[in-house]
Amino acid sequence: MNLSTILLFLADLGGGEMLVIITAVLLLFGADKLPGIARSIGRGMREFNDAKSQIRNEIERSIKDINKPE
């Protein structure tokens, strides 16, 4: 099975479904742990974006080195 087929339901997510998901998350983790979870997710996203930009810069620098006249 393809990942896009599995996650196809996310395209039709409405307000009611989001409310149910948020309520379920609150019931599972509790309101006191949500800020820590959100902070961890934000930190992970920041690290991912930093790594992505470092890789992009390294590739661009390699391309410039290859195209540099000698």
Predicted structure pTM score:
0.58
Band of the pLDDT at 2, cuts 50, 70, 90?
A: low
pLDDT at 59: 94
Asked whether the beta carbons of 53 and 62 are under 8 A apart, the reply is no
| Close Cβ partners of 37 (under 8 Å, ≥ 6 residues apart) | 29
pLDDT digits (tens, 9 = 90+) for 19-51: 888 889 889 988 889 889 889 999 999 999 999
CA distance 29 to 27: 6
> Which domain range does residue 36 map to?
3-67
Question: How many domains does the chain contain in total?
Answer: 1
